[in-house]
Amino acid sequence: MTSALMAFGGHWDSRAAELRGAPDMLAQFLSKGHARVLPVWRGKPQLRGAGQATELGWVSAGADVLKHAPAPYLFLGLHEDVPLFAADISAWEPDALDRGAMAMFLDTTIQHYPGTETGLFFGELRQSMAHLTATDAALAATARATFNWHRSHGYCASCGQPSQVAQAGWERHCPACGAKHFPRTDPVVIMLVTHGNDLLLGRSPGWPEGMYSALAGFVEPGETLENAVRREVHEETGIQTTDIRYVASQPWPFPASLMLGCVARATTRAITLDDELEDARWVTREQVLRAWSGEDTTFVPARKGAIAHHLITQWLAGKLGDAYI
């Protein structure tokens, strides 16, 4: 079950993986001026828009902003016959950064590179994910997650020596021992737990005031999705579940996860919190609807574009099956 309202699930014409090992061809793409490059600063893609970003801020290969990016650029593939790349310009140091605001749960600050045209800025992807096209959001998420991986995997996991970017940004190779390393995506279950007309929601410490969402947790080695759902729900709330079913998935580049959306039916209701959650509560369908419509401002729903919002919307519409209504 997919939804146009769920961010990062889109696609583009081709990732053209067969060209990642053809540096001469990629260099030609960049030198001929036909290619487009997405600058990314410390996880923030360059965006374009007045007030609210509506598209990505692509630049040509000769743009001044790219002087801060190491080579090679990340080759994203081809879309509408245009070669697409992303470049990590995190080495750029803007003036007067508000580091306190940047450390908040949602960084609302924006940065402008000197000399760029009006309307271009670097902004938090979660702020714009529901406003970008499906293709733009998917491209930005791919670039952000891959750069996150490079920043945390600069050294070989086999011998500890510095590794090097290879295959147009899709691998790291160790010149010391010859090991090859590939981008990691962490599987995370996110589950909508229901009991009759009620829904189980939780909130983590540090979230915006009043915000509640579906429970979630990492899948452990040797664990099925169903068992991960059972374990996480019980660990966090003490509640037992059954009738667990997969619904949909969403790439989540914060920093690099694949959210595996599931639905489960609770067989118990008593909540016993562990230290991961600040609170958990049962809410009725009517309470969720009031929050969705803005009538209840004490309960902040999951952000639009997130898989939690999608799952709850499907539940409200009665589209998750009779066992969960």
Q: What is the pLDDT of residues 52-63, one digit of tens each?
A: 778 999 999 999
In terms of phi and psi (left: phi > 0; alpha: psi -120 to 50; beta: otherwise), the region of 305 is: left
Task: Give the closest residue to 149 by CA, choosing from 256, 270, 74, 34.
Answer: 256
Distance CA 317, CA 313 (A): 6
pLDDT tier, 36 (very low <50, low <70, confident <90, very high otherwise): very high
Give the pLDDT mean for 246-274. Answer: 96
Residues 6+ apart with CB under 8 A from 7: 129, 130, 132, 134, 137, 141, 250, 305, 306
| The pairing of beta strand 257-266 with beta strand 186-195 | parallel
Sorted by where each begins, the domain ranges of the chain are: 17-152, 153-183, 186-316
pLDDT of residue 218: 98
Query: Is 186-316 CATH 3.40.640.10?
Result: no
Fold of the domain built from segment(s) 17-152: Nucleoside Triphosphate Pyrophosphohydrolase (3.90.79)
Residue 40 has which token pair?
């990314």
Residues 6+ apart with CB under 8 A from 201: 212, 213, 214, 215, 280, 281, 283
Give the pLDDT mean for 225-244. Answer: 98
Give the pLDDT mean for 96-110. Answer: 75
For residue 1, is pLDDT > 80?
no
pLDDT tier, 320 (very low <50, low <70, confident <90, very high otherwise): confident
In terms of phi and psi (left: phi > 0; alpha: psi -120 to 50; beta: otherwise), the region of 22 is: beta
pLDDT in tens, 11-33: 999 999 999 999 999 999 999 98
pLDDT of residue 324: 52
For residue 72, is pLDDT > 90?
yes
Q: What is the radius of gyration, based on Cα positions, of the chain?
A: 21
Q: 17-152 and 186-316 share one CATH topology?
A: yes
Distance CA 29, CA 76 (A): 12
Residues 6+ apart with CB under 8 A from 73: 30, 37, 66, 85, 86, 87, 168, 169
Residue 32 has which token pair?
């001929």
For helices 307-316 and 285-293, give the axis angle rounded to 10 degrees. Answer: 120
pLDDT in tens, 141-198: 999 999 999 999 999 999 999 999 999 999 999 999 999 999 999 999 999 999 999 9
Q: In terms of pLDDT, which residue wins out, 278 or 323?
A: 278
User: What totals of helices (H) and strands (E) does the chain contain, helices first?
Assistant: 7, 15
For residue 245, is pLDDT > 70?
yes
DSSP state, 134? H
pLDDT of residue 302: 86
pLDDT tier, 3 (very low <50, low <70, confident <90, very high otherwise): low
Residues 6+ apart with CB under 8 A from 41: 89, 90, 92, 111, 113, 122
Residue 190 has which token pair?
């996110």
Predicted model pTM: 0.93
For residue 262, is pLDDT > 50?
yes
DSSP state, 155? B
What sign does the CA torsion over 320, 216, 204, 193 have?
positive
pLDDT of residue 298: 82
What sign does the CA torsion over 142, 148, 151, 155 have?
negative
Mean per-residue pLDDT of the chain: 93
DSSP state, 296? -
* CA diameter of the chain: 64
Task: Give the closest residue to 213 by CA, choosing from 230, 236, 235.
Answer: 236
